[in-house]
Amino acid sequence: MTLFVSFSERAPYLVLEPQGRIGGKSSAEFYTRVKDILADAPEGDVILNMSNVDFIDSSGLGALVAINSHLARNGRKLILAGVMDNLLALLKITNLFSILTIVRSVDDAVK
């Protein structure tokens, strides 16, 4: 299954919206697509709307950490929004919950 990543702006944020499953081969595609989008939008914090991601595996978690690190190195912040309960539980188990900024919705992120 192909993973799609759309994006929009909600000033001053860039909002990325992946749809589908982030795992295995699609994790690398996800990371590459996000890095390409970020290269074209080099400023501002990034909201990753996860409400349409129904699965993520360890390689997908690795991609999230890599994106977070890339942004942090450039003085930017990654905010996860709309995280489904199963992914939220996984983020807590892996202790990524303490590293990543997570909010309930995109609206909450822009407040």
The structure tokens 């699965």 sit at 55
CA dihedral 4, 8, 89, 72 (to 10 degrees): 110
- Kindly indicate whether the domain formed by 4-110 is annotated with CATH number 1.10.275.10: no
pLDDT tens string 42-98: 889 999 999 999 899 999 999 999 999 999 999 999 999 999 999 999 999 999 999
Quick one: pLDDT at residue 10?
Answer: 93
Q: How many CA atoms lie within 13 A of 46 on its CB side?
A: 29
Contacts by 94-97, CB closer than 8 A, 24 or more apart = 94/61, 96/61, 96/64, 96/65
